[in-house]
Chain A
């Protein structure tokens, strides 16, 4: 059924990166997330699936406190990253976001050159001592995002001039340039064509070597292809969480089964 059962069994023994307990999220009066408990492992791809409006993107944005930028949003419960509460008053959300990178639904390169797009994070965080180090960080990040060969001759061209798939990989390069520990991806392929999607998926699989990756997706095939763990959200509840192979072949909950077989959604 799956390609390499042995490696997956090994994966389940990874240490816990993110741990959420009793997370509730409110947008004003709207109760968007209702008591989610979940443990996300290191060096694993975890997929969040579920129908639109089920809260999977909202939960993803809780993990790097992006919801802080929305005035009416309120988060309760605890989320820990390496056993440290990220909603603690002493935690600087800005530094948290440097550790937890994010790739968005629509490619959003800055209106700057390709080089400056990737160098943006390292520059802000003072990661390079000189121009040479910065150059090597940029090259390494672009290589890791599998876009180096396509852009190495035009690093000074604007990032907005690339094609959609290239832009998304540029955004991934931009995110990995700050050396995050976790990479959050909010429907990274929804604006891409199948070929670009395949490239990004391949990339996600490679990123698993070094990072914990959390991906929100509407495509169940994609979740099955790239993830080792899958979480199914429905109406703000985390309905089921487990091995991807198990969720897609032998779900425990009726709702999960209905969603996967296309009866609700």
Chain B
């Protein structure tokens, strides 16, 4: 039974449970809802939740566990002699899986009968033929053990799916019946439903956290793998970034420092554009602008935040780069070799970060109590004295937090760098040189056709991990700063 159908059936059972639970509760109270402990819909929701949630969770867990069990069993079936020396168990297993999928497709299209597909002594050539005519790709000739394993795989998967469907429906029915049976006047349905909703919310929150954990773990394992192939000292202290794409490795220099330098340099340029402009914009918007001007200017500023970064990248490549070239290039001051440079990417990234800084700072400045301003005005301070000496110091921790958050965005930015800063990793102080960043190099290392197990490809994970640690540290530091000074004016 396809999963969609199963899902719809469970949903139907839950809906039925809702209606029946509600009706039974009303009947128990002789159709006088004042005699019920909770509103009738809570009794319905109780039955509905009891039908749906356990069945759904069970299905999810089953779907996660089943492939593991099946693969394990089938894999044990294959003797060591089946696996060629040049291959591995994993590769043979993927062949088995392909054959099983092929058989499924062939049966579905009618090229082979169900019995034939299942029989252990089916003719190998015939099966291969029917698979080919069904348009299935078979890498090598089917062998007897692989065919048998594939048949076994099919059988177990099919059986598993049927058993799961049956169990899920049973669980849903049992849950619905339990919920309906509970629907009596004195049953505290409201409290039970509240608890159920709380559990759902907790589950949603933990999924987000678990995903983060999963991302970190996937990075960690590949990073460890990389450091096994490439010495960590050379990675962290190397001054040269020159990956070779011969595929064998060994001759590559994978020093992270030029990339980190590029990242920090470009971020620094970006922040020195974004912080003053963003901050001044925020001060104007929150302190000087009339409500009308603010109502127009603030959304306009925030439009900047909605522009995809690739568009900023194009802006850097097509507009800002040539513009800078006119002034600093060969015809001008002669500092700049090409349109792609730290300055180009930094300026454009700074523009991208303006709404980020200004919007957050604006909120923070607005949160400074009016009593602070009144106190300052009452002492004969002008508006700008008040802002400089009272409002900004009071808002400073929040503003620092906003700037650090903007910094971690600048560090993680990729598209603008790819298009605006060039691809050359170099350690240079000239802001008109082309440089590149960690993120841009992660992209180029993974999009090449290097062997995935080579240090040239795996270095991307080490780079990602380094970046992750840096931005995490920045975010933690930002949170620390904000939290430490938050209550200052309360």
Contact B369 A97 (CB under 8 A): no
Are B375 and A111 in touch, CB under 8 angstroms?
no
- Contact check, A124 vs B369: say whether CB atoms are below 8 A apart: no
Task: Judge whether A160 and B488 touch: CB under 8 Å.
Answer: yes
Q: Is the Cβ of A98 less than 8 Å from the Cβ of B377?
A: no
Category for how many chain B residues contact A: 20 to 34
Q: Among the listed A64, A71, A109, A125, which residue makes an inter-chain contact with B378, where contact means beta carbons less than 8 Å apart?
A: A64
Tell me, in angstroms, the Cα distance from A37 to B371 when the chains sit together. 29
A101 pairs with B379, CB closer than 8 A: yes
Please classify the interface of chain B as helix (H, G, I), strand (E, B), loop, or mixed, using the class held by over half of its residues. Answer: helix
B367 in the interface, Cβ–Cβ < 8 Å?
Answer: no
Cross-chain contact A98 with B371 (CB below 8 angstroms):
no
Contacts of B369 in A (CB 8 A): 108
| Interfacial chain A residues near B330, Cβ < 8 Å | none
Task: Check A146 for interface membership: any CB of B closer than 8 A.
Answer: no
- Check if A120 is an interface residue, CB within 8 A of chain B: yes
* B375 close to A97 (CB less than 8 A): no
CB of B372 within 8 A of chain A? yes
Determine how close the nearest CB of chain B comes to the CB of A96; give it in whole angstroms.
Answer: 8
Contact A171 B375 (CB under 8 A): yes
Choice from A66, A97, A103, A111 contacting B393 with Cβ under 8 Å: A111
- Tell me whether B378 and A102 are in contact (CB under 8 A): yes
A110–B390 CB distance below 8 A? yes
Q: Which residues of chain A come closer than 8 Å to B375, judged between CB atoms?
A: 104, 108-110, 171, 174
Q: Is B354's beta carbon under 8 Å from chain A?
A: no
From residue B291, how far is it (CB to closest CB) to chain A in Å?
A: 8
Query: Which residues of A lie under 8 Å from residue B376 when comparing CB positions?
Result: 110, 120
Contact A97 B372 (CB under 8 A): no
Q: With both chains docked as a complex, state the minimum distance between the C-beta of B382 and any C-beta of chain A, in angstroms.
A: 5
A94 at the interface (CB under 8 A from B): yes
Judging by beta carbons under 8 Å apart, are A69 and B377 in contact? yes
> A97 near B385 (CB under 8 angstroms)?
no
- Verify B377–A97 contact, CB threshold 8 A: yes
In the bound complex, what is the Cα–Cα distance between A178 and B380 (angstroms)? 9
B347-379: CB near A (< 8 Å → 1, else 0) gives: 000000000000000000000010111111111
A188 to chain B, nearest CB (A): 12
Point out the residues of chain A lying under 8 angstroms from B381, CB to CB.
Answer: 94, 120-121, 124
Q: Kindly state whether residue A106 has any CB partner on chain B within 8 Å.
A: yes
A158 in the interface (beta carbon within 8 A) = yes
**B109 close to chain A: CB less than 8 A:** no
In the docked arrangement, what's the CA distance between A71 and B288, Å?
12
A112 to B371, CA, bound (A): 15
Whether A101 lies near B378 (C-beta < 8 A) is yes
Chain A residues with Cβ under 8 A from B394's Cβ?
Answer: 110-111
Closest-by-CB residue of A relative to B391 is A110
- Residues from chain B with a CB closer than 8 A to the CB of A94 are 380-382
Q: Do A98 and B379 have beta carbons less than 8 Å apart?
A: yes
Q: Which bracket fits the contact residues of A?
A: 20 to 34
Whether B191 sits at the interface, judged by CB under 8 Å, is no
B377 touches A66 (CB 8 A): yes
Q: Which residues of B contact A238 (CB under 8 A)?
A: none
Residue A95 at the chain B interface, CB threshold 8 Å: yes
Q: Does B489 make an interface contact (CB < 8 A)? A: yes
B488 touches A158 (CB 8 A): yes
Are B377 and A111 in touch, CB under 8 angstroms? Answer: no
B380 near A125: Cβ-Cβ < 8 Å: yes
Let me know if B444 is at the binding interface, CB within 8 A. Answer: no
Q: Which residues of B contact A66 (CB under 8 A)?
A: 374, 377-378
**Closest B residue, CB atoms, query A69:** B377
CB-CB nearest in chain B for A95 = B380
Q: Which of B379, B382, B389 contacts A174 (CB 8 A)?
A: B379
Taking the closest CB of chain A, its distance from the CB of B117, in whole angstroms, is 77
- A175 at the A/B interface (Cβ < 8 Å)? yes
**Chain A 187-203, CB within 8 Å of chain B: the 1/0 string?**
00000000000000000
A121 shortest CB reach to chain B, Å: 4
What is the chain B residue whose CB lies nearest that of A106? B371
A171 CA to B489 CA, complexed, in Å: 14
Q: Is the CB of A160 within 8 A of B489?
A: yes
Evaluate contact between A97 and B489: CB separation under 8 angstroms. no
Please determine whether A120 and B389 come into contact, CB atoms closer than 8 angstroms: yes
Q: Compute how far the CA of A99 lies from the CA of B380 in the bound complex, rounded to whole angstroms.
A: 8
Q: Which residues of B contact A (CB under 8 A)?
A: 290, 369, 371-382, 385, 389-390, 393-394, 488-490
- Can you add 11 more A-B contacts, CB < 8 Å, to A66-B378, A101-B379, A110-B376? A69-B374, A95-B380, A97-B378, A98-B379, A104-B371, A106-B371, A108-B369, A108-B371, A108-B374, A111-B372, A111-B393
Which A residues contact B (CB, under 8 angstroms)? 64, 66, 69, 71, 94-99, 101-104, 106, 108-112, 120-121, 124-125, 158, 160, 171, 174-175, 178
Enumerate the 5 nearest inter-chain pairs by beta-carbon distance, A residue then B residue, closest first.
Answer: A98-B380, A102-B378, A108-B371, A97-B380, A111-B488
Can you list 28 A-B pairs, Cβ within 8 angstroms, ordered by A? A69-B374, A69-B377, A94-B380, A94-B381, A94-B382, A95-B380, A97-B377, A101-B379, A102-B374, A102-B378, A102-B379, A104-B371, A108-B369, A108-B371, A108-B372, A108-B374, A108-B375, A111-B372, A111-B393, A111-B394, A111-B488, A111-B489, A120-B379, A121-B380, A124-B379, A124-B381, A125-B380, A171-B375
